[in-house]
Chain A
Amino acid sequence: MSLITVERKVLESNNAIAEENRLVLHGKKIFSINMVSSPGSGKTSIIEKTVLNLKDKVNIGFIVGDLQTSLDAERIDKLGIPSVQIVTNGACHLDASLVRNAYKELSNLDIDFLIIENVGNLVCTAEYDLGEHLKVVVSSVTEGDDKPLKYPIIFRKSMALILNKIDLLPYLTGSIDVLRTNALSVNPKLQVFETSCISGVGIDEWCNWLLRQIAFSKDNIP
């Protein structure tokens, strides 16, 4: 019996492509976010509101992954934003090579801000670096206030948390304070926003924070 020492990361090939993606985006001074949530949390609705709020201030590009259909890309495309749909045909997450291929369709455009909407999944998406600058996790208040404790990895890896659908709070028994406390116990550094895409509350605050991130990265991207 002999032993071959390996000591390598299983996801090293994905991580290498993610790093290439990051370098390409850096080179073009594009700030990018990877938006992750469970299905139906309202990611695409938040992106629609974000686009309407920011499209006169920054040039936005959009990449979205779903198991089937191009419905989400069509929604954002209607707002005048160049959009690329990745159909994963059953895969539960985006990976760096899928994003690299999708970005080719946007590479000739003048973009400041790339929004990547991941497949609706709080588990598998946590393992795959896409080359984004930061992850944003969306959790709608209807999902219950225990989700950060049940899916701690994605909450720990994200920089911002959007608590969406707060217009429905009067109809729920769960507490947004408990939800916020649970999220901050898993990741004390989370920037937390409370939003409703129906009333529009919280969208300005979220977008202003994004603008500061975009400006900060423009100054600091080499």
Chain B
Amino acid sequence: MHEVSIAQNIIEIVNSYLPEPNNVDVKTVNVKVGVFTSIMPDALRFGYEVLTHGTHLQNSVLNIEEVSLKVKCNICGVETGAEPSFIFCNSCGSVDVAILEGTELNISDIEIINN
């Protein structure tokens, strides 16, 4: 259940963008979470709700975009999708692949309304 500490990291980064938090309403915090991370989106949303309760972020929504796995084959060069437990090239079947997408744990942007 490390999602609570991940949520705390998100809140700290968001707050660093709000020098005057009382003058803005944060509507949405958009984050990208890859499927090849140890993050459970529901637990992250729960952690965010708990930690923002009673704060200036209370009415904001943590919007999580889940990013699928995408790999590039080191043998045939093709880029394909993959599943976390079955990481291989869908084109030639090789397991010698580099992960291009699916490991993200990033804050993309913050939607705000200035008061």
Contact = CB atoms under 8 A, between A and B. Distances in A.
Interface of A: 1-14, 91-93, 123-124, 126-127, 149-150, 152-153, 156, 184-186, 188
A124 to B, nearest CB: 4
Contacts of B105: 9-11, 127
15 contacts: A1-B113, A2-B111, A3-B111, A3-B112, A4-B111, A6-B108, A7-B106, A10-B10, A10-B31, A91-B2, A127-B39, A127-B105, A149-B85, A150-B85, A156-B87
B83 to A, nearest CB: 9
B59 interface: no
Contacts, number: 89
Given A126-B38, A156-B87, 10 more contacts: A1-B112, A3-B109, A5-B108, A5-B109, A93-B2, A123-B2, A127-B38, A185-B88, A186-B85, A188-B96
Nearest to B97: A188
Interface residues of B, number: 33
B5 to A, nearest CB: 8
Interface majority SS (helix, strand, loop, mixed), chain B: mixed
Contacts of A6: 13-14, 17, 107-110
B45 interface: no
B22 interface: no
B114 interface: yes
B110 A185 contact: no
B13 A10 contact: yes
Nearest to B96: A188
A6 B26 CA distance: 14
A92 B95 contact: no
Contacts of B106: 7-10
B77 interface: no
Contacts of A1: 27, 111-113
A216 B40 CA distance: 38
B23 interface: no
A200 to B, nearest CB: 33
Contact of A2 (B9, B10, B14, B114): B114
